[in-house]
Amino acid sequence: MLNTTIKALLTGAAFAVLSTGAMAQEVALKFQSSDPAGDANYQLYKEWADGVSEETGGKVSIELLPVGAVVDFQETLDAVGAGILDGHITDTSYFAGKDAAFGLIANPVGAWSDPQQMLKFLNEGGGKELMNELVEPYGTHFFGGTTPGLEAFVSSVPLEGVNDLKGLKLRAPAGLVQNIFAAAGASPVNLPTSEVFTALDKGVVDAADYSVFHVNQAQGLNEIAKHPVFPGFHSMPLIEFSMNKQKWDALSEDVQKTLEESVVELAQRQNAALADKNSKAVEEAKAQGATIHDWSDEERAKFRKIAIGEWEKQASQSENAQKVYDTLTTYLEKEGLLAAQ
């Protein structure tokens, strides 16, 4: 249900939504990001938005606004559908309260060991079609996605595989992530990010779900927890690019294709930039005495199978969540990701 903020804005947006069928050649769109203006990912997405006019030959321009500029980050799905915003670039998991399917497709913990695996599922394995089954009932259309990257796993003790998680005291956010680590035999606790460094330093926890490797390194986590697992094996969020469906349908096919292709290219640039930052951070961490642990495909598959047991519980919460579960597990089986490679 739309909240008071959206209701107040809806009247002023109604005419814009109704008039999209008569769009002129040059269309100006307003998107909102779920990132603050100072964030590196926001800057990357703003560069994409600023380049859309040139990419489309001046037919479409996009103004990207930071989180909260028009509506709260959890309200953008409704706002885009209502035409208050023309589009959004956001973490899909923010809408898990509407349907458990959003949380499961946004971050199927344990599914991916590399951003390319997720992007392949999204662009070639039915992920894009599945996303539109979820968002189009809300009046929006998904035209592409990316990820800020696979999180590394911070640890002060050596972890060579799933068996080493048993009894491990670790920080993990409440919900699916915590449930999966508990199913693997760990002892997860929920701590705010602001307390992770101190908790690791004082031995309150031995490991932590936190962020991508270069961020962990920049915040000094690998200096006090010298056994990071990299690449990680657990969390990698989906960032969706979606817009008002009426306005999407009013665009010419060539402009639609250009927008779709531009997000595919953006995802590759983001992935390459992340790989470069992580590579430099790994060398720095090693020089400071850290030992990098890279799990084998077999161990990653073991963790994935444990995770799937928790996905199945989430799938039972809605018909759409079950569809996400079925599509994901079928794809992983087809790609050979449920067994050692």
Could you tell me where the DSSP H helices lie in the chain? 4-18, 40-55, 76-82, 100-106, 115-124, 127-135, 176-183, 196-201, 213-218, 221-224, 245-250, 253-287, 297-315, 319-334
Q: Are 95 and 78 found together in one domain?
A: yes
Question: Hunting for tokens 């915590």 — which residue is that?
Answer: 178
The band of 156, judged by pLDDT with boundaries at 50, 70 and 90, is: very high
Q: What is the pLDDT of residues 120-147, one digit of tens each?
A: 999 999 999 999 999 999 999 999 999 9
Q: Which domain holds residue 146?
A: 4-150+236-277
> Residue 339 falls within a domain, yes or no?
no
Residues 213 and 241 grouped into a single domain? no
Residues 168 and 123 in one domain: no
Write out the two tokens for 66: 């930071």
Q: Residues 55, 135: one domain?
A: yes
Position 21 in a domain: yes
Examine the domain organization and report whether 93 and 216 are in the same domain. no
* One domain, residues 253 and 295: no
Domain for residue 47, yes or no?
Answer: yes
Are 142 and 162 in the same domain? no
Q: Are residues 241 and 208 in the same domain?
A: no
Residue 51 maps to a domain = yes
Number of domains in the chain: 2
Dist. CA 119–CA 134, nearest whole Å: 18
Q: Give pLDDT tens digits for 24-73.
A: 468 999 999 999 999 999 999 999 999 999 999 999 999 999 999 999 99
Q: Examine the domain organization and report whether 80 and 194 are in the same domain.
A: no
Q: Is the same domain home to 126 and 73?
A: yes
pTM across the whole model: 0.87
Is residue 168 domain-shared with residue 271, that is, in the same domain? no
- Please check whether residue 282 lies inside any domain of the structure: no
Condensed to tens digits (0 to 9), the pLDDT of residues 226-273 reads 999 999 999 999 999 999 999 999 999 999 999 999 999 999 999 999
